[in-house]
Amino acid sequence: MPGQIMMQFRIVDVDLKNLCAAVTSIAVAAFGWLPGPIFMGSIVDSTCRLWRQLACGEHGACLLYDTDQFRWKFFVTAASLKVLMGLLDSVVVWRVWRLSFDRGHPSTKEPLQLELSTRQSSTAELVETNK
């Protein structure tokens, strides 16, 4: 299990874990999966040397890429994003490391005992009425 998921399940209260997982997956889809291909596609398109001209005057598909420029832009962008994500992960780990996870949970024994005692009394009443 990735550290990010373990950390979010440790930080979030028990009754909000499902909501946290849903919001996290929506955020990953919205900010990671959708803009990523668009962003990297624009980097690939920026390295084109020769565009095919369409009849309407606009450019079509790329006919020739500058491979040196493509290699440089692609790997520098990927490395920069990895360094940025590493720094952000370090900040999150540092902030979480200082958190205290001692939560005062209310005792669930009293309501459970009251519920059981009412069920037992109603069962006893049913047995007596059937006789």
With respect to residue 116, please indicate whether it lies within any of the assigned structural domains: no
CA–CA gap between residue 21 and residue 9 (Å, rounded)? 8
With respect to residue 48, please indicate whether it lies within any of the assigned structural domains: yes
With respect to residue 110, please indicate whether it lies within any of the assigned structural domains: no
Q: Does the structure show a pLDDT above 90 at 74?
A: yes
HSE at residue 85, side-chain half, CA atoms within 13 A, is: 8
What's the pTM?
0.58
With respect to residue 65, please indicate whether it lies within any of the assigned structural domains: yes
Nearest to 50, CA basis, from 41, 58, 39, 61: 61
Q: Name 89's Cβ contacts closer than 8 Å, sequence gap at least 6.
A: 4
Report the SS3 class of residue 34.
Answer: coil
Q: Does the structure show a pLDDT above 60 at 124?
A: no
With respect to residue 109, please indicate whether it lies within any of the assigned structural domains: no
Q: Identify the bridge partners of residue 62 per DSSP, sorted by sequence position.
A: 51
Q: Identify the bridge partners of residue 53 per DSSP, sorted by sequence position.
A: 59
Domain count, the chain: 1
With respect to residue 118, please indicate whether it lies within any of the assigned structural domains: no
Backbone torsion region of residue 106, taken as left when φ is above 0, otherwise alpha when ψ lies between -120 and 50, otherwise beta: beta
**Residue 36 binned pLDDT confidence (cut-offs 50, 70, 90):** confident
Range of the domain at 60: 2-99
**Residue 127 binned pLDDT confidence (cut-offs 50, 70, 90):** low
Q: Name 99's Cβ contacts closer than 8 Å, sequence gap at least 6.
A: 11
CA–CA gap between residue 29 and residue 27 (Å, rounded)? 5
Q: Does the structure show a pLDDT above 70 at 30?
A: yes
With respect to residue 129, please indicate whether it lies within any of the assigned structural domains: no
